Amino acid sequence: MRVPVKSVNQQRPTKKKAQPTKPKAGQPIKAGQSPKPGQPRKKKPAKRSKGMRLLFMALSLSGIAMISATAGALLAVSLASTPLMQRQLSPSEASIFSKGDRFSTRMSLQLPALTRPVNILVLGTKVLTTDVGNAPEHLKNLPYQALVNSFEGLTDTMLLLRFDPESKKVVVMSIPRDTRTYIANHGMTKINEANYYGGPALSAKSVSELLGGVGIDRYITINVQGVQALVDALGGVTVHVPKDMKYQDDSQRLYINLKAGRQQLDGNKVLQLLRYRHDENGDIGRIQRQQMVMRALMEQSLNPTTVARFPSLLGVVQSHIDTNLTVEELVALTGFASQVNRSNTKMLMVPGEFSSPGEYKASYWLPNPDRIKGMMAQYFNFGTSTLESPDPASIKIAIQDSTKQTKSVETAMSALDKAGYGNVYEGQEWSEPLSVTRIVAEWGDVSSAEAIRRALGFGEVRIENTGDLRSDVTIQLGRDALQPRKPVKRSTSDAPQPANKLSN
């Protein structure tokens, strides 16, 4: 602790016998004394103000020191660590990723910043010993199919992320693994086979063509071991498990046993939640749970403190990721995402429908090119769309109630009917109790979702695919639906809009 030191110019007052001490100008007044004209009183608030300034200065210096130390540590990591790319791309493969154009500032004593919009392809893999011909020796003779720390094989997860510093938004596009698309030299097949045939480069090329030719700047491949390690390093995540999940596969030593309800999950339990497939929506149900976990992680763990811990987090997952991102670029992306408001995080899925039984030899997710075009124009600023917002009477609206009060559903249906929405149905109850109603634009039609919110007079709009996928918009009723309010009349602003407004 620093000890205050007297100024060299300050002198002790001279004491004289039998004479009262006379305070000099500028000196504090002792108790019982009266100040003489022109002599200032002691200003205690000024001392407190000075103390606050010193405290603020100390905190500021501490913050600067922390940022500088973090930046210095990151710089050391970027210069001294092994490359993040686990496999080298050929010149033709590397050319697929936007020719390596920079999108972040350089690493120095300040953290790097994002300088332009960037699209990142994320590939999630789960590789078993039976999937590779060169499994490690210690795994070859096991009596079950063990996980291998590899990035080969089919992808379980495919995401296209857009980080846009101009609009201050993050967009997550989920691509169902069973999406039927063209893969160069392999014809029409499931898009998750692209990684098996040609790694991240062929995956990026296939995704780009599926989405109309959108550019892809970088890729990240992470296996399930990396996901588990990252969640554990972040301290877990709190999510609502929608129902009891129990499954056992001895051939993989895969054991899933989760109870319904809101709970804290560690890395292993998060994998159980993500790998469970035995529900009515199959792979699409997994995507819904992926979006739920991603949003929870972003809201609970993605903050400036996480950026400060980046070197240690990178050390935990480094052996489980393969990417052509530099450390600088990873830090810039993480720092930007940590500052994005929750309402500016949009979660989409490639629009389409399930193939009919017997239509093909395998089951597919059949993409809808027109809807994809509109979605890319609105959320990726790529191309143009001539789609118009639909008339309210044609919008399919599902209501999922979390209040367990019949009144809330009746009130919502009545308000929607008065506003001209005639295609409304009650779907399956929403198992998570909500305080605020969620109006979910399942296929990104935010203008229709906002119009519905105005018609109801409550709720918040979300862009994600967590509701009833048969609908255009899902209303998940919360306790705010039970509050009395005046009916809202349909306004002219809710009428159908001109081109470039995405519809489903």
Segment 86-112 mean pLDDT: 80
Residue 203 to residues 72, 180, 200: CA-CA distances in angstroms?
35, 13, 5
Check residue 50 and give its pLDDT. 55
For the segment 5-20, the average pLDDT, to the nearest whole number, is 44
pLDDT of residue 202: 98
- In the predicted structure, residue 17 carries a pLDDT above the cut 60: no
pLDDT at 108: 58
Percent of the chain with pLDDT over 70: 78
The tens digit of pLDDT for each residue in 283-314 reads 899 999 999 999 999 999 888 788 778 888 88
- Percentage with pLDDT > 90 across the chain: 64
For range 120-128, the mean pLDDT = 96
Choices 3.40.630.190, 3.30.460.80, 3.40.50.300, 3.30.450.20: CATH for 80-379: 3.40.630.190
Q: What is the 3-class SS of 270-323, one letter each residue?
A: HHHHHHCCCCCCHHHHHHHHHHHHHHHHHHHHCCHHHHHCHHHHHHHHHHHEEE
Mean pLDDT of 343-360: 95
Do residues 124 and 175 lie in contact, with contact meaning Cβ atoms separated by under 8 Å?
A: no
Residue 9 has pLDDT above 70, yes or no: no
Please report which residue ranges of 133-210 form alpha helices under DSSP H: 137-140, 194-210
Q: How confident is the model at residue 501 (pLDDT cuts 50, 70, 90)?
A: very low
Report H helices in 343-463: 369-379, 406-418, 446-456
Pairing relationship of beta strands 155-164 and 473-477 according to DSSP bridges: unpaired
Pairing of strands 321-323, 254-258: unpaired
For the chain, the structural domain boundaries read: 80-379, 392-494
Q: Please tell me what DSSP assigns to residue 128.
A: B
- pLDDT band at residue 386 using 50, 70 and 90 as cut-offs: low
Which range of 18-32, 63-77, 230-244, 376-390 scores highest in mean pLDDT? It is 230-244
Instruction: Name the residue among 454, 399, 389, 388 with its Cα closest to residue 424.
Output: 399
The helix/strand/coil state of 164 is strand
pLDDT exceeds 50 at position 215? yes
Query: Residue 148 CB: number of other CB atoms within 10 A?
Result: 22
Is it true that 80-379 and 392-494 share their CATH fold?
Answer: no
Asked if residue 327 has pLDDT above 60, the reply is yes
pLDDT value for 66: 52
Q: Which of 38-42, 309-313, 386-390, 498-502 has the lowest mean pLDDT?
A: 498-502
Fold topology of 392-494: Alpha-Beta Plaits (3.30.70)
Q: pLDDT-based confidence at 135, cuts 50/70/90?
A: confident
| Residue-level pLDDT at 435 | 97
- pLDDT value, residue 12: 41
pTM for this structure? 0.81
Would you say residue 363 has pLDDT above 50? yes
Least confident of 3-17, 164-178, 387-401: 3-17
Q: What is residue 133's predicted lDDT score, i.e. its pLDDT?
A: 80
Burial class (CB in 10 A: 0-12, 13-18, 19+), 231: buried
Note the pLDDT tens digit of each residue in 252-282. Answer: 999 999 999 999 999 999 999 999 988 878 8
